[in-house]
Structure 1
């Protein structure tokens, strides 16, 4: 007779999470993940990376004292967690499996619940990264009340909302002119841009763009590869699209599908790492360490577990948790545009 807490002890769950292969989000490449042992972080934002030329001095005089124009920005990691109930029928079946195949299927079902909980937690971290990239701010509801708000201080001059005949898709827009203007605003050379498939399609259907690529009145259909080759040759950022989605569940149980990156945004930036995804410890990790579970020191950025609570009824759960917040020291060196309403 197998007990669920023997099958899914903490060491087994952590080993499973460490060994499984997951597909990284785009945000993980732009904001690499780093684990720390604190929940509070300080980093510097709001300054140009351009050097400030030193002054010429006479010999035997004191050197000019530099001034740091940075502003200290304090961040506190957000506590993100999710759990799924393991049904009592499955628990009983796990204790008395009729065949090894049935036991394997039931064990797989529990691991799937752990995967789902971990995936939901990772999705919320990606929401934060994409809000930072597209808007320069975080504004997320906290379960139980309140809001998580962070302003990464993207300069006002690094944002633009197009209007009227300048909106992409009107047929009168000057897309290359827009890209050149936005790129010239940044201190660092803009080499990369993120947008949606919808906006990319508007660019590729633009008659001026088709003319630039293939000549006037060409009937050819442009691809993103054609466009990026042209942009590279003109010292403009290459464009990638991001259309991944997630769902949110309301209090009445209904689901709404949302996008990580807004469909109407276009963001350009340089080669530098934009920031980091800062992970801290969770209360679950701290408790396991106090209980002498040394294997918890090998936990990744998201911890998973199977646990039991309550007496009537007894509830068994597959749970995942993390504490995380994106840093964004390069917030001064991105351009956030809204070319469509």
Structure 2
């Protein structure tokens, strides 16, 4: 009992900014294992000191053949196929306000249990904000993979970042060619798309809806079983067939996020479009490039080791005098690079 009273005495009268200092928040995030997303694997993270990234694409996996020369003649002069573009990182941030009643309780807790509960609530808010920033990053990564573009249309910003996926590496099916039509030829489409690529794809990413359409498709079942006998085709059987025929193994990604509307309601959306089917190989597709934020200056002023700052910076801060506002915030600058832009095929096989 005496130990708890001593803890409360140490806690009492401590300001909210001291309780959740830059160092305390950074330590909390460093020790948390946040859920990983598919984009973390396909586009590994890299932190840079710049707000720009150089996107280099082109060349693909097909070599440019050299020509034969007579001895004592000048070599043919080659040119680089790769194209370079400079892109600016997107500034992503979100904040929540701490209620004055909770701040007073945090600064003067009545019991150790109240102290622990309120502290956990603040850190839970911070984690929610950080995951919200990472959700926006994941949406950009999946937009790049599915469409070859990042479209920004929020908070007065309207921009499109085009990664220049070749036009002949994209196709939207229609009519009886749609994979939901029993007379369509999904495996023939996949073969045709592979022929258009400069690499041999080993993986395909799609939705559960498209995978189920393939598993039920009479032409696919006939190819796997020899005829469509009405037998149910399983994922493992389709995997084995695809692998034995040198076709990409199909995996699904159906994770979702919530987007808050101006009226306060929430809309649930997908990271990866439900109508897309994208093929690629085992190589890394690109990177998730994180840069510095203006808020990192505040961390430096607080004499915190800047190396502690991860890809997303979180903080508790105050602003204004009347009324005083205390906020929790998460912020990052980020953008995917897409070095494999000319080594993917982006298809839309269902409406």
TM exceeding 0.5: yes
Aligned to 1:3: 15
Deviation at residue 220 of structure 1 after TM alignment: 3.0
Over the aligned positions, Cα root-mean-square deviation in angstroms equals: 1.4
Query: Unpaired segments of 5 or more residues in structure 1?
Result: none
Aligned to 1:84: 96
- Contact 2:205–2:252, Cα closer than 8 Å, also in 1: yes
Q: Distance in 2 between matches of 1:90 and 1:220?
A: 61
Aligned to 1:249: 260
- Residue of structure 1 aligned with 2:75, choices 63, 69, 86: 63
| 1:23-62 deviation per Cα after TM superposition (whole angstroms, max 9, x unaligned) | 2111111111100000011131133232212223333333
Q: Distance in 1 between matches of 2:169 and 2:141?
A: 18
- Residue of structure 2 aligned with 1:134, choices 127, 146, 150: 146
Deviation at residue 217 of structure 1 after TM alignment: 4.1
Deviation at residue 215 of structure 1 after TM alignment: 4.1
Deviation at residue 122 of structure 1 after TM alignment: 0.5
Aligned to 1:171: 182
- Contact 1:142–1:148, Cα closer than 8 Å, also in 2: no
- Contact 1:46–1:154, Cα closer than 8 Å, also in 2: no
Closer, same or farther: CA 85–178 of 1 in aligned 2, 3 Å: same
| 1:41-98 deviation per Cα after TM superposition (whole angstroms, max 9, x unaligned) | 1131133232212223333333332201222111110100000111111111112222
Aligned to 2:167: 156
Deviation at residue 211 of structure 1 after TM alignment: 2.5
What is the SS of the residue equivalent to 1:82? Answer: strand
- Residue of structure 2 aligned with 1:313, choices 308, 323, 328: 323
Q: Distance in 2 between matches of 1:214 and 1:69?
A: 44
Q: Distance in 2 between matches of 1:293 and 1:147?
A: 37
| 1:181-239 deviation per Cα after TM superposition (whole angstroms, max 9, x unaligned) | 11111111110111001111100011222223334243432222221111011000001
Note the 1:108-119 alignment, pairs <5 A. 108-119=120-131
Aligned to 2:332: 322
Deviation at residue 292 of structure 1 after TM alignment: 5.0
What is the SS of the residue equivalent to 2:342? Answer: helix
Q: Distance in 1 between matches of 2:232 and 2:87?
A: 47
User: Would you say how many aligned residue pairs link Structure 1 and Structure 2?
Assistant: 339
Q: Distance in 2 between matches of 1:161 and 1:43?
A: 26
Aligned to 2:281: 270
Note the 1:213-292 alignment, pairs <5 A. 213-289=224-300, 291-292=301-302
- Residue of structure 2 aligned with 1:201, choices 189, 192, 212: 212
- Contact 2:219–2:228, Cα closer than 8 Å, also in 1: no
Aligned to 2:8: none
Query: Unpaired segments of 5 or more residues in structure 2?
Result: 1-11
- Residue of structure 1 aligned with 2:346, choices 327, 336, 339: 336
**TM-score, normalised relative to structure 2:** 0.93
- Contact 1:82–1:320, Cα closer than 8 Å, also in 2: yes
- Contact 1:137–1:150, Cα closer than 8 Å, also in 2: yes
What is the SS of the residue equivalent to 1:109? Answer: helix
Structure 1 stretches of at least 4 aligned residues deviating more than 4 Å after TM superposition: none
Aligned to 2:5: none
What is the SS of the residue equivalent to 1:331? Answer: coil
Deviation at residue 10 of structure 1 after TM alignment: 0.6
